[in-house]
Amino acid sequence: MKRFSTLFLYIALFAGLYFFQVSFQGREMKDLPGVTDASQVADIIIPADENPGLGFDVKGFMKDGQYILFLPVRADKSSLALYLLDAQGAPLELVTHDFEAQEELLIAGSLTVRVMQSDLPSLEINLSGDDLCEVEASKDQTYVAGGDMVLSCSDDYADEHGCETVFKTRDSNWDINGSLTLWGHGNASWLLDKKSYDLKLESLPAILDMGESDRWVLLANAIDYTLLRNQVFYELAGDCGLAFTPLLRHVDLFIDGEYRGCYTMCQKVKAGSDMIDMNPGRDFLYKWGLPGENAHQLPRMIFRDKLTNVVELKETGDPSKAEEALDIAFRLVDAIADTSSDGYLEMVDLPGWARYYWIQEFAKNTDATSRSLYTVWLGDERKMIMSPIWDMDQTAGVQEPFDRPADYIYPTEWAVRCEEWYVPLFEHKSFSDEVERIYRDEDLGEKFVKCAAEIPEKARAIRKSAEMNFTRWDVLEEPQNNQIVRYMGESTIDTQVEWLSEWCRQRAEWIAQEMK
């Protein structure tokens, strides 16, 4: 019986494939009936084989009674061929239209179709028979889907960034043996509708101008309605000389033909010459603050509660060195907690720890000490590096944490130095003195002002993509954004950017006044 069911499944699969080929590739074999009434149209498909610049077929998106066609960057909207489909997915009519000359198309007198397209790179992912719904339904993010991808950018972008205009993980046979795997990413953010993903490629390609890697993260920025916070504070970290700062670029993401929004494609925090050049067996990568697969309870309670009282050994390069690596972490915690001695100085890169603190404090990051906190132990130097920076979306007054004593909304007052291991660190005069020295000697005040001043230009660079994103995800008025509405009077893309820019400007001024 099981063998018969499997056979029936294969027959159905090949029958569906044959129908698709007859309907979409052999259209000359059959006249399309045409559309006489808008109610006949249940979907719209933009086929890749009839539209240069598409990696895969793209689907229409229905909103407020009209179809919106989100296009990848290299698609030619001046000569766009699209198919109107009925409720069974069968083609009704082929329509070719110049959306460059006329932005909207009226079908059967009442159905409006319009196009949206940005000049950011487009990342198109096609899953090989795996449903994205299964990935997103996996609460523990263990469901892994396979597929292929095409990453494309405009000629101008390629010239500016020195990268390929089109990169494919596979040149042909898209539906056979996927060249990538995709699964869920994030902690609390995984509960939101717009989700982040991890991406692993079979090869080590150079992605845009970010170097070679087989591991990437697609960050949704689902609670950051500027879509800029990670970029703003990662680039500030790089400007301040923070080690191992991940590179990132904004992209328009399509999965299985569906536009998913404006995402940040970012280097994955992992050992490797592309990001963290580690010596196996001598250098160790740690993640602090959240329980994970290799998490271990810390011996001393310097953190707020048991949830954050853990360290996870991410990578050693040599499993036999795990006990040694954990002993280093435990000794570090003990040394920081012992405020009667400066023994911790023997284990830390003090200037790097001070720089890292300043990025977190300037941004008022609610995750500065409790989530996604990474450190690297460099065995040859016998020092713990506080880096790479990660997870900077809950910053700059975007969200008030319910469990923190400090204010995280207003751009005034100290916050991060009142949290977890920064409390004993600031009781060490050596650390507080270094924090002041780094601010003064490395002109951090000027870098904070520069960071704030550059935000409007960053916003202009992704403006079209942001408009697409918030058309797809109608979230600007959601409850978690109430403080923006309350202080700015309304919530739009412009007021979100104005809030972030003005918040950072005022934060820089307040810190400068305090540091006089």
Please give the Cα distance from 471 to 494 (Å, whole number): 15
Domain boundaries of the chain, sorted by first residue: 24-116, 122-267
Helix/strand/coil (H/E/C) assignment for every residue in 264-307: EEEECCCEECCCECCCCCCCEEEEECCCCCCEEECCCCCCCCHH
- What is the DSSP-derived secondary structure letter of residue 206? B
pLDDT of residue 6: 40
Query: Is the distance from CB of 113 to CB of 119 less than 8 angstroms?
Result: no
Q: Is the dihedral angle over the CA atoms 408, 414, 417, 423 positive or is it negative?
A: negative
**pLDDT tens column, 453-493:** 999 999 999 999 999 999 999 988 776 666 777 777 788 99
Encode burial over 75-91: b for 16+ CB neighbours within 10 A, e otherwise: bbbeebebbbbeeeeeb
Closest CA to 228 of 37, 40, 503, 417: 503
Task: Count Cα neighbours of 344 within 13 Å in the Cβ-side half-sphere.
Answer: 26
**pLDDT tens column, 178-215:** 899 999 998 888 988 999 999 999 988 889 999 889 99
Under-70 pLDDT residues of the chain: 1-30, 172-177, 273, 291-294, 299-308, 479-482
Query: Is the distance from CB of 23 to CB of 117 less than 8 angstroms?
Result: no
CB-based burial of residue 206 (10 Å sphere; 0-12 exposed, 13-18 middle, 19+ buried)? middle
pLDDT of residue 303: 47
Please give the Cα distance from 274 to 214 (Å, whole number): 10
Q: What is the strand order of the sheet 91-97 is part of? A: 58-59, 43-46, 80-85, 91-97
pLDDT of residue 28: 46
Cβ contacts of 60 within 8 Å, gap of 6 or more: 43, 44, 45, 46, 67, 68, 69, 82, 113
> Which two structure tokens, joined as six digits, stand for 229?
């916070």
pLDDT of residue 480: 63
Closest CA to 193 of 218, 226, 221, 222: 222
> Which two structure tokens, joined as six digits, stand for 189?
């953010």
Angle of CA points 59, 63, 69, to nearest 5°: 35
pLDDT of residue 468: 98
